[in-house]
């Protein structure tokens, strides 16, 4: 199974990430990667990310801005 991130601006528009993601074969790998680069993504204009599996089902949406405020 493949896991992918969708990167969005604050208004929900799809955007290109400041850091190119790799291919993720597990959900844990995808989540570890986002944990490592979320600040760079936020600085590059991404405010929200969505994690999907290879069927296109969105597992969850996460605000990077909220992570900064935490």
Q: Where are the domains of the chain?
A: 3-69
pLDDT for the residue numbered 39: 95
Q: How confident is the model at residue 70 (pLDDT cuts 50, 70, 90)?
A: low
pLDDT tens readout for residues 8-61: 999 999 999 999 998 899 999 999 999 999 999 999 999 999 999 999 999 999
Distance of alpha carbon 60 from alpha carbon 6, whole angstroms? 11
> Which residue is associated with the tokens 């844990």?
28
Distance CA 37, CA 50 (A): 15
Instruction: Give 24-58 as a DSSP string.
Output: BSSHHHHHHHHHHHHHHHHHTT--EEEEEETT--E
pTM of the model: 0.90
């Amino acid at each position: 199974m493949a896991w992918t991130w969708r990167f969005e601006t604050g208004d929900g528009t799809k955007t290109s990430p400041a850091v190119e993601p790799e291919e993720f074969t597990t959900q844990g790998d995808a989540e570890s990667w986002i944990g490592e680069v979320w600040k760079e993504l936020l600085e590059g204009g991404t405010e929200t990310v969505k994690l999907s599996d290879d069927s296109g089902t969105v597992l969850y949406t996460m605000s990077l801005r909220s992570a900064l405020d935490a």
